[in-house]
Structure formats: structure tokens, C-alpha cells
Amino acid sequence: MDSRMVESYALGRWHRATDEGRAVLSPVDGAEVARVSSTGLDVSAMAAYARETGGPALAALTFHERAAALKALGLTLMAGKAEFYAESARTGATERDSGVDIDGGFGTLLSYASKAKRELPNDTVYLDGPVEQLGKKGTFLARHVFTARRGVAVQINAYNFPVWGFLEKLAPAFLAGVPSIVKPATQTSYLTELVFRRIIESGLLPEGSVQLLCGDPAPLLDSLGGQDSVAFTGSAHTAAKLRAHPVLVERSVHFTAEADSLNASVLGADVTTDAPEFDLYIKQLTTEMTVKAGQKCTAIRRALVPEAMVGAVVEAARARLERVVVGAPGAEGVTMGPVVSLSQRTDVLAAVDKLRGAAELVSGDPDDFTVVGGDAATGAYLPPMLLRSTDPEAPDVHEIEAFGPVATVIGYRDTAHAIELVARGGGSLVASLVTADPQLAREVLLGIAPFHGRLLVLNAEDARESTGHGSPLPVLVHGGPGRAGGGEELGGIRGVLHHMQRTAIQGTPAVLAATTGQWVAGAPRTEGDEHPFRKSLAELKIGDTIVGGPRTVSLADIGHFAEFTGDTFYAHTDPEAAAANPLFGGIVAHGYLVVSLAAGLFVDPAPGPVLANFGVDSLRFLTPVRADDALTVTLTAKQITPRSGADYGEVRWDAVVTNQDDSPVATYDVLTLVAKTRDGGEP
């Protein structure tokens, strides 16, 4: 294997260290694979470059434009993934392990791109919650908005996911409009660097929006301030050190950590050995022990099973673990590779030794196992090791994380005891429960939820579709309290908002409308000669209004609507029964009749830029409409969202229907698709 110097990408160019750097050895055979150093790199200048070049470049793009860049990047990287798999094998990853890291990483880019397009506006401001009316007359309102922080997102990653690890942090920051500096773990930085080269070569991301720092990041943290953030994944020890970094503390730099976690998997008391759930439990446990040789922050470390099931679980798991073939990735039949380095192997063995004070080793002997296609002496190989606790209450089995192919089976007395034992992990990223009983699931889930960021319930019904205990998903929260680091990542748009500042804006309706780009009640309306439905997206402005009516509702209208639709509810058809209704006291019009009549009052019928009505939001009927009431509708363009990549966009209209006394009888938002130009061409 060739060894190469890993470079950093900083200030718009690749940087090679001025010294020989630190040697990184392959866990497969102990040969040198890379050298890593940041010597000669002006690390502080990287932060300034991100803020001054990357930040403004990102600010010029809307959420949708950033999403389009991420999508194109995800597809480009996916198309060239073969070379990443080859490099990944040098880190000790099998093909299956590489899939989790590489496809998982690129999939995260695509998932974020699609979520952003659907759930974020085509804008740079994100609105949070409703308008708050602070004064009686409606001249003083407030609204919360999110805007991108003007800093840099520093991402310090662990060695175990050299691809997914940085992309899952980068995607939300990029969408938010915040440039990233990626610092990979030295041990596997050569794979991160290779992917980064392809990212830079693609030219898809604006200059300065992403930089790579391989080697020592220390001076970088000294240059951070209140608009910057640090997101860390790695050991609890380093997390604690960084959290207390004087500059981060003094300047309130946003800091999140995702650290060690003793994740539990609970076998429900309802599961018998002949139930399908028993096999699911065993399969999941042994899979989690062996994927990435157990070096996953979400892997199962504690298998909690009813006391009476301990023997059966150990037997069944041992039978599966004995079929695991340990060896060099790619060698014939190998299903589990080495851990990442010889020192990691030493750490795992030391942790297993400690665990053996409160548990016995029941499967896997580190001094006697077969290695296929690799050398047990020079490579970092370990067998999968299963322990059985001799004392479920012993702190060590709940506190010592052997970050390798290791798990401990622990017996519990009853469900309350199981909940208590799970909580002894002190906060974890994830736990799973295998049960076919929804009531038992409720009891366990609500008992352990405060200690976790994610919970999975597995049984025969969802097993085929289940994404598994150990898979963080871009749309779900990843993180956990306490020992797990106290941070939160991903979770769809929540992860994007972590990079943005929430601000409460107070002012007049006109100020709020101008600032947020969304019309609010009380802001100026424009009633022109031309019907707003005749205007293309390019011509329409928020506040453009059409007032239709009045239209008197007759008893015959109500009777006709009842008969025509089949909605003959007594309040619309039976005068006596309707009179006894405490809310109506007589015949009232259907709410849907009101909405239909309103459409008749505001629609402009001829073909034009309005292409379709795709729904209504927030429909409320506020005042009953009786025969002879006269309805007026006011329709105002509230929000205009051009869709990138389409020749139309969305227009949200504020609709208010009032009666002859000017009381609102119905309020809602009408959602339409409108062409960008009158003739359908480019604006």
C-alpha cells in the first residue's frame, strides 16, 4: 500500500504541511497508509476566510438554491463512490461498513436537500411560530424569525465515520447559510480528504463555504467568537476538555457534543423464545456488535433481558457470533474487519478486562481466534466478545464503554427494574425495545425517553421496514443527554436551525411584512384595477388584494347545498332541531358552502397565470352564517415562493370572509400555483 501526505483545503487552495507529519498505520496489516500534519497552516486565517468569503457567498443564495447545490453534490459523489470504497477498506471497513459510512453520508446530503426544498421557504429568513398581537388595535405585533449566524461552523469529527460524520454536520450548516471548517480525526482523515477533493473539484459549493483542516486544530478555537459554533463527536474526555475551553466559555461560542454512550436494547417481558421477536432481538444485537467492528456511537453495549431469558439469549447470540468471520476487508468470507488502530484495540481489551470484574466473558476469546487474510499480530483484530453480567447493579457494566465488538447481557427482574437499569447509562443516544405489546412499549418508552435522543420499538410488524437500532437518520434527532454529550444533531430542519439565531421582532404590521416577506393583517393592501389572478409570479406583490361581494345567502342556497352534496346535517335542514342547538339556535349555512361561495366571489375565471389551487391551510369557521346574511371576501397575497427548477411557484393568499356586520365568519389561507410569467417562459 502507498503512504501519502494528507493535505488540508484552506483559503481556497490545498495546503501541504511543511514537516513530515504523524504516520497513520493501517489496522489491516500495520503498514503506513498516510502522514498527517497541519504544520505551516494559518489556522486562524481559515476562520476569517470562512466568515469573509464563504459567509457572503452563502448569504447570496436562498434555502432552495443551497438545497439544489447539495442535491447536485450528493448525486455527483454517489456516482463516483467506487474509489471511496477502495480507500475505506484501508481504514478496516468491510463493504457493509463502508456502505453505512459512504452511502449513508451521501444519502444524508440528498435527504437534507429534499427536506429543505419542501419545508424551507425559497428565502434566507425562516419564520418561527405565529404573529403575536401585542396591542389591542393591532398596530404593534411581533414575530420570531431565524437568520443565519455570521460565523463559522467548526466540525470536529470522530474516526469511525470519516464520510458520514462530516457530511451530517456540513449539510445542515450549509443549508442554514453558515460556512464550515471540517476537522476529521487523524486516524481516518485520508478518506475524508479524498471525498473533500471530489467536492472541491465539483465546483458545486461556493468558495469559502467548506474548508478542511487535517492535523492539529488547536489555534482555531482561540479565534472563535459568539457567531461561531463547534460541533464535536468523539470521546467524553475530549468533549469535556473542549467544553471548558476558556475562549469558548468567555465568548459564548455555541458548543455541542456527541460523546460515548452505553446504549441499551431491552427484550420485552412478553417475548418467548419461540416468538419472532426473540430472533429479531438476537439478530439486532449481533449485528450491532459487528457492524464497523462495534465502533459505532449508537451500537448496543447493554442487552437487558428478563432474568429467566439470560441463558437463552446468551446461547442464541453465541451461535450467531460464532459464525462471524474476522479478517481483512475484502478477504474471502470476512464479515467483520479490525478496529481502527492497534491503540484502539488496546483500549477495547482494557475496557473488557475492567468489565470482567462485574461480568463473565461468554463468547469470543481475544487470545484465541482466527483471522482471515490478515495478520493477528500486526493488524488490529478482535473477536466479537459477549459478556454476561454477574451483578446487574454493578456500576461498571453501565459506565464502561468498550468501543469495539463488545456487549454485555444483563438480567432484569421486572419492567420497572429494566427502566431503572437503562437509566443507569446516564444518558444515551439511542435505546431499542423488542416487544409485540404496545402497552408495555408505552411503559418502557415513557420511562426511558428522558434519557435518550431516539428510541426504537422493534417487532414482527415493523421489522421488514425498520431502519435498525444503530442508524441515525437525517430526519430524526441524533444526540442524547448527559453522558451522550448533551447535544442534538440532524432531526431534519431542526438541525438547520441550530445554525441560526432566533430573534423576536416587534413593530407595526408594515414593518413585519417588509422584514419577513410575508403579509400580515394590518399591513398595507393594494387594490388595483387588475385582478391579482391576472398577474404572473414576477408581477404579483405581497399585499395585492381583491375584495369580492357582497353575496346574500338564502335559505334555498342552504337547502340546495345540503341536497346537492348529501350533507343534510340537521343544523342545515331541520329548523326545529337546529333551534335546539345551543350554538346555532336555528338553521345555519354549511361552512363549506361559505368557502365555496367565497371562491365564487374572488375567482377570475379566464385562463391566466393561476394554474391550480392545491389546498387551504388553517381553515376556521368563526361566526355562524344564517339565511339572508351577506358575505364579503377579502383575498390578499400573503407569501410568494418561486420554485427553483420549475416555471411556476406557490402563492399563499390570506382569505377573510365577513358578514354584513363586518364580523369574520371564516378565515383561511388559499394555496395556489402561479406561473412565473404570463406566457409561461422564463421571467
Closest CA to 17 of 36, 2, 4: 36
Q: Rg of the Cα trace of the chain?
A: 30
Euclidean distance between CA atoms 571 and 559, whole angstroms? 11
Cβ atoms of 114 and 492 within 8 Å: the answer is: no
Nine cell digits for residue 335:
464479515
In whole angstroms, how close is the CB of 347 to ligand NDP at the nearest point?
5
Q: Would the CA dihedral through 634, 640, 643, 648 be positive or negative?
A: positive
Euclidean distance between CA atoms 565 and 420, whole angstroms? 57
Positions in 109-148 near ligand NDP (CB under 6 A): none
In whole angstroms, how close is the CB of 164 to ligand NDP at the nearest point?
11
Q: Please identify, among the stretches 10-18, 231-239, 502-510, 644-652, the one whose residues bind ligand NDP according to the rule CB under 6 A.
A: 231-239
In whole angstroms, how close is the CB of 377 to ligand NDP at the nearest point?
22
* DSSP per-residue letters across 467-517: --TT---TTSEEE-SGGG-S-EEESTHHHHHTTEEEEEEEE-HHHHHHHHS
Q: Coil, strand, or helix at residue 263?
A: strand
Interface residue with ligand NDP, options 102, 170, 175, 185 (CB under 6 A): 185
Closest CA to 205 of 162, 175, 165: 175
Interface residue with ligand NDP, options 403, 451, 561, 621 (CB under 6 A): 403
Per-residue three-class SS string for 88-101: HHCCCCCHHHHHHH
Verify binding: residue 297, ligand NDP, rule CB under 6 A.
yes
420 part of the active site = no
# residues contacting ligand NDP (CB under 6 A): 26
Nine cell digits for residue 663:
364580523
Instruction: CB nearer to ligand NDP: give 202 or 223.
Output: 223
Type of residue found at 434: V
Instruction: CB nearer to ligand NDP: give 347 or 437.
Output: 347
Interface residue with ligand NDP, options 26, 98, 233, 263 (CB under 6 A): 233
Instruction: CB nearer to ligand NDP: give 259 or 410.
Output: 259
Residue 71, classified by CB atoms within 10 Å of its CB into exposed (0-12), middle (13-18) or buried (19+), is buried
Verify binding: residue 217, ligand NDP, rule CB under 6 A.
yes
Nine cell digits for residue 599:
371562491
In whole angstroms, how close is the CB of 398 to ligand NDP at the nearest point?
15
b or e along 8-29 (b: 16 or more beta carbons within 10 Å of the residue's beta carbon)? Answer: bbbbeeebebeeebeebbbbbb
Instruction: CB nearer to ligand NDP: give 38 or 53.
Output: 38
Interface residue with ligand NDP, options 186, 408, 639, 659 (CB under 6 A): 186
Interface residue with ligand NDP, options 44, 227, 235, 573 (CB under 6 A): 235
Closest CA to 462 of 503, 495, 434: 434
Cβ atoms of 612 and 672 within 8 Å: the answer is: yes
Cβ atoms of 617 and 653 within 8 Å: the answer is: no
Up-side HSE of residue 183: CA atoms within 13 Å toward CB? 22
In whole angstroms, how close is the CB of 34 to ligand NDP at the nearest point?
12
In whole angstroms, how close is the CB of 218 to ligand NDP at the nearest point?
6
Closest CA to 111 of 537, 585, 401, 492: 492
Interface residue with ligand NDP, options 3, 76, 238, 667 (CB under 6 A): 238
Interface residue with ligand NDP, options 46, 47, 158, 633 (CB under 6 A): 158
Check 277, 297, 443, 650 and give the catalytic one: 297
Q: Please identify, among the stretches 96-104, 233-241, 413-421, 588-596, the one whose residues bind ligand NDP according to the rule CB under 6 A.
A: 233-241
In whole angstroms, how close is the CB of 33 to ligand NDP at the nearest point?
15
State the helix-helix crossing angle for 164-176 and 104-119, rounded to 10 degrees: 20
Euclidean distance between CA atoms 355 and 347, whole angstroms? 12
Give all strands (DSSP E) within 149-277, no chain letters.
Answer: 153-156, 180-183, 210-212, 229-233, 254-258, 263-267
Q: Please identify, among the stretches 115-123, 150-158, 368-376, 388-396, the one whose residues bind ligand NDP according to the rule CB under 6 A.
A: 150-158
Instruction: CB nearer to ligand NDP: give 84 or 403.
Output: 403
In whole angstroms, how close is the CB of 441 to ligand NDP at the nearest point?
26
Interface residue with ligand NDP, options 91, 124, 155, 157 (CB under 6 A): 157
Instruction: CB nearer to ligand NDP: give 117 or 169.
Output: 169
Verify binding: residue 167, ligand NDP, rule CB under 6 A.
no
119 part of the active site = no
Q: Lay out the site mask for ligand NDP across 326-345 (x = CB under 6 A, - = otherwise).
A: ------------------x-
In whole angstroms, how close is the CB of 20 to ligand NDP at the nearest point?
16
Verify binding: residue 443, ligand NDP, rule CB under 6 A.
no
Instruction: CB nearer to ligand NDP: give 108 or 160.
Output: 160
In whole angstroms, how close is the CB of 616 to ligand NDP at the nearest point?
45
Verify binding: residue 401, ligand NDP, rule CB under 6 A.
yes
Interface residue with ligand NDP, options 260, 277, 544, 654 (CB under 6 A): 260
Does residue 340 come out as left (phi exceeding 0), alpha (psi in the -120 to 50 range) or beta?
Answer: alpha
Q: Please identify, among the stretches 26-34, 100-108, 118-126, 255-263, the one whose residues bind ligand NDP according to the rule CB under 6 A.
A: 255-263
Verify binding: residue 390, ligand NDP, rule CB under 6 A.
no
Instruction: CB nearer to ligand NDP: give 76 or 235.
Output: 235
DSSP single-letter state for residue 291: G
Up-side HSE of residue 327: CA atoms within 13 Å toward CB? 14
The helix (run of H) or strand (run of E) holding residue 614 is: strand 610-621
Interface residue with ligand NDP, options 4, 241, 251, 442 (CB under 6 A): 241
Euclidean distance between CA atoms 304 and 268, whole angstroms? 9
* DSSP per-residue letters across 298-355: TSEEEEEEEGGGHHHHHHHHHHHHTT--BBSTTSTT--B---S-HHHHHHHHHHHHHH
Check 258, 277, 488, 489 and give the catalytic one: 258
Q: Please identify, among the stretches 128-136, 179-187, 468-476, 625-633, the one whose residues bind ligand NDP according to the rule CB under 6 A.
A: 179-187
Instruction: CB nearer to ligand NDP: give 21 or 609.
Output: 21
Instruction: CB nearer to ligand NDP: give 399 or 557.
Output: 399
Cβ atoms of 185 and 162 within 8 Å: the answer is: yes
Instruction: CB nearer to ligand NDP: give 177 or 425.
Output: 425
Verify binding: residue 413, ligand NDP, rule CB under 6 A.
no
Verify binding: residue 244, ligand NDP, rule CB under 6 A.
no
In whole angstroms, how close is the CB of 431 to ligand NDP at the nearest point?
15
Verify binding: residue 347, ligand NDP, rule CB under 6 A.
yes
Residue 144, classified by CB atoms within 10 Å of its CB into exposed (0-12), middle (13-18) or buried (19+), is middle
Q: Please identify, among the stretches 94-102, 178-186, 547-555, 624-632, the one whose residues bind ligand NDP according to the rule CB under 6 A.
A: 178-186
Up-side HSE of residue 616: CA atoms within 13 Å toward CB? 17
Instruction: CB nearer to ligand NDP: give 88 or 160.
Output: 160
**Which residues have a catalytic role annotated?**
258, 297
Interacting residues with ligand NDP (CB under 6 A): 156-160, 183, 185-187, 217-218, 233-235, 238, 241-242, 258-261, 297, 344, 347, 401, 403
